[in-house]
Amino acid sequence: MLQGLAIPTGAEIEALAAAAGCELAGVAGIGPVADFGRFAGWVERGYAGRMGYLTDHRAALRADVRELLPPARSVICVGKLYNGPEPYSTEFTDTERGWIARYAWGEDYHRVLRAALSELAGALERLCGPFEWKICVDTAPVLERSLARDAGLGWIGKNTCLINQARGSWFFLGELITSLPLLPNDRLAADRCGNCARCIEACPTAAIVGAPDGRYEIDSRLCISYLTIELRGQVDEELRGRMGRHVFGCDICQDVCPWNRGAAVTEAGVFAPGDFAPSLERLAGLSEDEFQAMFKPTPVERARYRGFLRNVAIAMGNSGSARMLEPLLKLTAHADAVVAEHASWAVRTLESYLDSALGRPQ
């Protein structure tokens, strides 16, 4: 009991979360997170790349949510669907248009999910009375997929995404750490990846690698999402040709997952694309102010203007389209040395492809 009122059941929490706009919800218990050792090993193997926020003093906080909220007694984990009706990247063949990861098409999910969790916290306070709570959405040092699995939302697939058997993997995850003594989930979802290796086989850069414990993990240094979002500066030349038309993030390992065939589609219009798969030529011509105006409400802003142009140059080099030569030549004169170098590489790559396609001597 709290403030003389009954503590809500799991079903009641699911209903409150649904009212706040979250399709999945469950409760994880408090204590050391079982996967923290795997996370620490992943960091030690260098797979975090240059993402210092995963390896600095905050890394140890991921071992136990009580490091973030000492009186914590439960964690409510939620999943908010963002999948839309548009085709998957593996079904989209227009090489003159850039691919932006599905999660980044609409409004920034941090704001949307934080608002939903705030609404959930308010509903719980009206039911239970005051309690201590903390919202975590992606940026907080928690192992959110492990907590979501423990809360019964799904299993962690070979592509390291949380997969829900009924609805697929297109979910934003968030946590409400609470001082409420909620009853935790006691039945984990079965791992239903089986012998399937489609995500591993489909990854263009072979970023899904075997872990020492027999499971799988992501070598971020090879992952297209890392290369197009987190990595600043030069992209290794041997990886550029494998990045395809991706200008921000990558969906391939989810696109090919059998559990995403006929996956649930969100009704939340905030995640709909303002400009689905925009023209590479248009993107290459954006000024910094135009980039901000086009992408400021979305997660794409994280790549930063110069990083985004670098990605666009790589995508144009991989396009196989002669139309991309003119905008690429303009980018070779860009004031930023990294953008100019990647544009020069793209020009050489594209000219070599066109010569080969036309049977011209190289």
User: Which residues are known to be catalytic?
Assistant: 138
Between CA 68 and CA 77, with CA 72 as vertex, the angle to 5 degrees is 85
Residue 111, helix vs strand vs coil: helix
Full 3-state SS string of 282-302:
HHHCCCHHHHHHHHCCCHHHH
Q: Who's near 219: CB < 8 A, 6+ residues apart?
A: 45, 47, 207, 209
Distance CA(136)–CA(148), nearest Å, equals: 12
Q: Who's near 296: CB < 8 A, 6+ residues apart?
A: none
* 211 phi, psi to nearest 5 deg: -100, 160
Distance CA(134)–CA(121), nearest Å, equals: 9
Cβ atoms of residues 322 and 290 within 8 Å = no
